[in-house]
Amino acid sequence: MLFYVCAHEQEDMMIERYTRPEMGRLWSIENEWQTILNVEIAACEAMAELGEIPAAAVENIRRTAKFDVARINEIEKTTDHDIIAFLTNLEENVGEDSKYIHKGLTSSDVKDTAYCIMMRDAAGLILGGLRKFREVLRRRADEFRHTPCIGRTHGIHAEPMTFGLKLLLWSAELERDIERLTRAQEIVSVGKLSGAVGTYSNIDMRIEELTCRRLGLTPVRLATQVIQRDRHAELVTTLAIIAGTMEKIATEIRNLQRTDIREAEEFFKAGQKGSSAMPHKRNPINCERVSGMARLVRGNAVAALEDMTLWHERDISHSSVERVILPDSTINVDYCLAKLTNIVDKLLVYPDAMLHNMGRTGGLIYSQRILTALVNKGVMRQTAYVWVQRNAMKRWLEKEDFRTNVERDADISKHLTAQEIDGCFDYKYFLRNVDEIFKRFDL
């Protein structure tokens, strides 16, 4: 894990190189404390609404409750407790009315609730990125709807398909990612103000409901000292799935950019360099970066799952982990989404190379058409399979043309005419349902 030093202190965030401004601001230490302050003020407002504290005191708190990160850090060196340091700093600025701040609460009430706000907002930014990426994929899928290319299974040529279908498949997976993240966002959009072990021993239960309503959250039905970490784990594991989707796309583009295939490649801008040693190089570096960063998010998912287990009603073993994995994972996915959206938007596609590659196996990709044609003529399937395979193996091992071999095969020619064989070697047959598939996605 790599960290950067911000203006005020070292913060547990992805290095600046991979941090986009809006997501970076969301996870900045200043915004974290501001969000915690917003929770404290909302709780004071709820108490005032119920007549527990003077309304004038809340007005004064709103006006004077300021914090200074450097001062909080200085106090924490003595207290060894960040929330107490924060409250001490507020007391220095608010004065007498500060006694109402944090009344009946425990640190996790405000910190957990604040983190849920930040997770919710981070998920919102990522959802926006997912929707934008999905639209780019749909547009480019439609652009290459009828562009024939070879489908590969196990890395070996299988049967013809279209490049548009490949892109459409990715957009369909993004739709599921959007559904998953929408659910995860809802799961973490909760708040908790129920005290040291969740029994509301020193606070009216209505305070929690009123505070959460002000913050756009749903009160948890039951908590211990903390909001249960299955919620956080659901968010981070969902982010890991999204990272997996992005790596899947990036890896396919990397493979298609191989010199031996070169059916598509990342846009290579003027002045860009691929190698300090080899001037000819055009490397898929951005897709490689996405692949690498996906590994980090997957690792964070394991940590999030381990955070679910705490001692009794709470220990603090989760805290140090979350300070890293929550900003790290959301910043990572946000960055990769923007990067991959740009890659696909500017992706260079080479239809001529796709057609050329389809012909590299000398017609082997039409083997199932011959097999099916023979079965339709009444030949037993396993018998037909043996006939077709022996001609296919000649192509693999002896480089003989598959089509020529089929035409010369005495067994096959007894059942299929030259015209019928010829009709089997047409890639357009494989693409006849493409438009119907696209209709399923309103394209």
Which domain-ending residue is among 329, 357, 385? 357
Q: Do 62 and 182 lie in a common domain?
A: no
Q: Looking at the domain assignment, is residue 272 inside a domain? A: no
Q: Looking at the domain assignment, is residue 429 inside a domain? A: no
C-alpha dist (Å) from residue 311 to 222, 226, 308: 17, 12, 10
pLDDT in tens, 188-211: 999 999 999 999 999 999 999 999
Q: Looking at the domain assignment, is residue 317 inside a domain? A: yes
Reference 80, options 316, 312, 270, 406; nearest CA is 316
Q: Looking at the domain assignment, is residue 311 inside a domain? A: yes
Q: Do 137 and 215 lie in a common domain?
A: yes
- Position 4 scores a pLDDT of 33
> Residue for token digits 């309103």?
442
- Position 273 scores a pLDDT of 86
> Residue for token digits 């700093």?
89
Q: Looking at the domain assignment, is residue 218 inside a domain? A: yes
CA 116 to chain centre: 19
- The enclosing domain of 47 has a CATH number of 1.10.275.10
Distance CA 194, CA 104 (A): 9
- The enclosing domain of 382 has a CATH number of 1.10.40.30
- Position 5 scores a pLDDT of 33
Which domain-ending residue is among 59, 85, 100? 100
Residues 6+ apart with CB under 8 A from 268: 274, 282, 348
- Position 9 scores a pLDDT of 40
Q: Do 46 and 8 lie in a common domain?
A: yes
Q: Do 379 and 345 lie in a common domain?
A: no
Q: Do 288 and 157 lie in a common domain?
A: yes
- Position 272 scores a pLDDT of 84
Q: Do 206 and 145 lie in a common domain?
A: yes
Range of the domain at 336: 107-266+279-357
> For every residue of the chain, which 3-state class applies, written as one string?
CCCEECCCCEECCCCHHHCCHHHHHHCCHHHHHHHHHHHHHHHHHHHHHCCCCCHHHHHHHHHHCCCCHHHHHHHHHHHCCHHHHHHHHHHHHHHHHHHHCCCCCCHHHHHHHHHHHHHHHHHHHHHHHHHHHHHHHHHHHHHCCCCEEEEEECCEEEEEEEHHHHHHHHHHHHHHHHHHHHHHHHHHCEECCCCCCCCCCCCCHHHHHHHHHHHCCEECCCCCCCCCCHHHHHHHHHHHHHHHHHHHHHHHHHHHCCCCCCCEECCCCCCCCCCCCCCCCCCCHHHHHHHHHHHHHHHHHHHHHHCCCCCCCCCCHHHHHHHHHHHHHHHHHHHHHHHHHHHHHCCEECHHHHHHHHCCCCCHHHHHHHHHHHHHCCCCHHHHHHHHHHHHHHHHHHCCCHHHHHHHCHHHHCCCCHHHHHHHCCHHHHHCCHHHHHHCCCC
- Helix axes 29-49 and 55-64, enclosed angle (nearest 10): 170
Q: Do 44 and 80 lie in a common domain?
A: yes
Q: Looking at the domain assignment, is residue 322 inside a domain? A: yes
Q: Do 114 and 183 lie in a common domain?
A: yes
- Position 13 scores a pLDDT of 61
Question: What value, to the nearest 5°, has the Cα angle with vertex 366 and ends 365 and 368?
Answer: 105
Q: Do 353 and 369 lie in a common domain?
A: no
Q: Do 391 and 297 lie in a common domain?
A: no
Domain total for the chain?
3
- Position 10 scores a pLDDT of 41
- Position 12 scores a pLDDT of 56
Percent of residues, the chain, with pLDDT higher than 90: 93
Mean pLDDT by 10 residues, the chain (443 residues): 36 79 97 98 98 98 98 98 98 98 98 99 99 99 99 98 99 99 99 97 98 98 97 99 99 97 93 86 93 97 98 96 97 98 98 97 97 98 97 91 95 96 97 98 97
Q: Which residues are catalytic?
A: 154, 275
Q: Looking at the domain assignment, is residue 430 inside a domain? A: no
Q: Do 116 and 86 lie in a common domain?
A: no
Q: Looking at the domain assignment, is residue 443 inside a domain? A: no
Distance CA 392, CA 298 (A): 42
Q: Do 150 and 185 lie in a common domain?
A: yes
- Position 280 scores a pLDDT of 87
Which domain-ending residue is among 68, 100, 132? 100
